[in-house]
Homo-oligomer: A and B are copies of this chain.
Amino acid sequence: MSNVDTVIQDLVIANRILAKEDVVDAYGHISIRHPDNPKHFFISRSLAPDLVERGDIVELGLDGQPVRDETRSLYLERFIHAAIYEARPDIHSVVHAHAEDILPFGVAQATPLKPVIHSGSFIGANVPVWDIADKFGDTNLLVVNMEQGRDLAKCLANNNVALMRGHGFASAGRSLIEVVRLSVYLPRNARALLRAKQLGGEIKYLSQGEIAARAAGYSPYSLETWRAWEYWANKAGCGHLLTKPEAAAHTHAHKK
């Protein structure tokens, strides 16, 4: 397969994984930047992620509009993706979702969401909360144009995740696998923190140094990262679609 074909196939897999892992339901979406043209990105047409197939993927520009004639409906909130790609050249994949267990952290103001477990480190030391009402007043809470998308991207700044008050989150990664992993473990970190609060007493969060050490050691095509991708794809019923990158196929020699 060509690189673009592989990217689209991986995007299909990612859609199914996010559905199976309850990060998205009928709503929520994931995109990936075009590997050869940083001003374009791929995302599904308006469809529940669990039902997405190759033919559903469309190519959009950084204005959130399709780059070819398109008669099918598109996600209303595709501007979240467009605006983050515009603002962050380092980012290659974006998720927007409503994963249930992060929602309380967007509306309760006493407990900021911070990494408290090692798999949650990738959310980063700081998870800003974006409130659409601050700038746009009473809306339907959806991000439906570039101005709103850019305001969210500004709040996200150089972080990996922004919570969206009363709505969900937007996460940004350097690769598709990275943003999927981040989005799967984000609700787990939220649950662990919520329950730790219930147990009471002081909570030991990950230190800045630990967060940095984990980020430094992360490689999207390491064997360890691939292990989760392979597992999730199989669990979601699309293990047969996997294309193992060479980097992940690389093996260590243990000689006696």
Contact = CB atoms under 8 A, between A and B. Distances in A.
Interface residues of A, number: 86
A1 interface: no
A70 interface: yes
Given A51-B234, A98-B119, A70 B254 contact: yes
A194 B197 contact: no
A228 to B, nearest CB: 4
Interface string A85-119: 00000000000001011011101111100001111
Contacts of A131: 204
Contacts of A73: 223, 251-252
Given A50-B234, A50-B235, A199 B256 contact: no
A105 B210 contact: no
Contacts of A166: 116-118, 204-206, 210
Contacts of A108: 195-197, 199-203
Contacts of A223: 46, 73
A204 B141 contact: no
21 contacts: A26-B232, A46-B223, A46-B227, A48-B234, A51-B230, A72-B252, A76-B224, A100-B192, A107-B203, A108-B197, A108-B199, A108-B201, A116-B166, A117-B166, A131-B204, A133-B210, A138-B207, A140-B213, A165-B204, A166-B205, A197-B200
